[in-house]
Amino acid sequence: MIDFTSINASIESYLQSVLPAQVATLVECALIAVCAIAAYLVFAIVMIYMERKVCAAFQCRIGPDRVGFLGLLQVFADVFKMLIKEIIDIKDSDRALYTLAPFLVVMSSLITFSCLPFDNGLQVLDFNIGVFFIMAASSFGVLGILLAGWSSNNKFSMIGAIRSGGQMISYELSMSLCILTLVVLSGTMRVSEIVEMQREGWFIVRGHIPAIIAFLIYLIAGNAETNRAPFDLPEAESELTAGFHTEYSGMGFGLFYVAEFMNLFIIAGIATTLFLGGWTPLYIPGLDGFNAAMEWIPGIVWFLGKVFFVIWLLMWVRWTFPRLRIDQVLVLEWKYLVPIGLLNLLIMTVCVVMGWTL
């Protein structure tokens, strides 16, 4: 099995031996950042291709299949097309905020992305306040969306942005309640420790009923956080043109698009880490041969497999349900998900205190 901790250590010791200490640290940081951004872009491209193919399958179409084998180069073609599109400077915008908005959105999703544990040791940021930091970093993105809508000086963008603000801050509550429920079960906030604790049974199994409820609420709230159908009011194209990014052209729009797709990846990644055991293999007590066989599959394959399974579930939801109205969205959150989430937190606490977990 590949162990990324030892690979990291060997690269670090090699750099320390060749360069002076401070320069080595600097080079290391730069290498890590470049790798993280490269991984971010690769996953964005994979996700856009997957979204198109899955959407096509749900609608009985073929999807992209002309550019490259099975249409694999379609996304690259689109990215290059977007790069050479003209950037239009609109007349009445608030220029400073208009330029700042994509920075906030992409930075928040990139920093959250670097908190995901891909494998043992393959994680950029591993704080002792891990999941709390993830919540903080991901809630940053809503600021960028609000700024984008406000600064464009376009009524559709403005409506899209305040809708998005109302929706995203509301659903963040359910997300943090679900994460809290899991922190009660695990007793730690460090992401790597949370994953390590799931070696002998994933939390969705060990926490049984409250964990399953939390998982379902988390998926609903996560879907709303990423502004995807059935919660895609902020960019409801039939009413609002394109919502908060109507006035962005070329790569300005492209960055919002990439960040939106990566937010879906991040939601699925956090769901995998907290509920489905991260990179730990499937473990069934008593079946030693089976467990040993599962150990042979590398952790990164487990992690990505689970993540893409969750993404596929969310895409299925997206292409199945019609869009809600804004009042329905807020009622669903405040009258159903928040009370259920609070109750679920209490149930989980009782289970943990009484020792009723598996």
Q: Which stretch binds another protein (CB under 8 A): 262-270, 292-300, 316-324, 332-340?
A: 332-340
Query: Residues 45, 55, 73, 162: which binds another protein (CB under 8 A)?
Result: 162
Q: How far apart are alpha carbons 347 and 138 in whole angstroms?
A: 27
- Distance CA(204)–CA(274), nearest Å, equals 8
Directed axis angle between helix 208-225 and helix 338-354, to 10°?
150
- By the rule CB under 8 A, 342 interacts with another protein: yes
250 near another protein, rule: CB under 8 A? yes
Q: In whole angstroms, how close is the CB of 23 to another protein at the nearest point?
A: 14
Ranges within 177-206 binding another protein (CB under 8 A)? 177, 180, 183-184, 187-189
- Which residue, 245 or 306, has its beta carbon nearer to another protein? 245
Return the residue of 150, 202, 215, 244 that touches another protein, per CB under 8 A: 150
Q: Contact 201/282 with Cβ under 8 angstroms?
A: no
Can you tell me which of 176, 192, 272, 273 binds another protein, judged by CB under 8 A? 176
Q: Which parts of 109-138 interact with another protein (CB under 8 A)?
A: 110-111, 114, 124-127, 129, 132, 135
Residue with token string 């994953």: 195
CA 270 to each of CA 164, 277, 327: distance values in angstroms, whole numbers, following the listed order: 21, 10, 28
Residue 280 CB, shortest distance to another protein, in Å, is: 20
Residues 299-328 that bind another protein (CB under 8 A): 326-327
| Candidate segments 1-9, 59-67, 155-163, 260-268, binder of another protein by CB under 8 A | 155-163
Q: How many helices (H) and strands (E) does the chain have?
A: 16, 0
Helix (H, G, I), strand (E, B) or coil at 304: helix
Distance separating alpha carbons of residues 288 and 206, to the nearest angstrom: 19
Asked whether the beta carbons of 146 and 189 are under 8 A apart, the reply is no
Q: How far apart (Å, rounded) are the C-alpha atoms in residues 14 and 31?
A: 14
* Count of residues making up the chain: 358
Query: Binding to another protein by residue 84, rule CB under 8 A?
Result: yes
| Minimum distance of another protein from residue 95's CB (angstroms) | 12
User: For the chain, how big is the Rg over CA atoms in Å?
Assistant: 21
**Choice between 57 and 129, CB closer to another protein:** 129
Binding mask 85-114 for another protein (x = CB under 8 A): xxxxxxxx------x--xx--xx--xx--x
What is the nearest approach in angstroms of another protein to the Cβ of residue 202?
18
Contacts of 198 (CB under 8 A, 6+ apart): 206, 277, 278, 280
Instruction: Determine which residue in the list 19, 52, 63, 241 makes contact with another protein, applying CB under 8 A.
Output: 241
Among 118, 156, 215, 308, binds another protein (CB under 8 A): 156
Identify which range of 55-63, 200-208, 292-300, 350-358 contacts another protein by CB under 8 A.
350-358
Residues numbered 274-303 forming contacts with another protein, rule: CB under 8 A: none
Span 43-62, contacts to another protein by CB under 8 A: none
**Core vs surface per residue 79-109: b (16+ CB within 10 A) or e:** beebeeeeeeeeeebeeebbebbbebbbebb
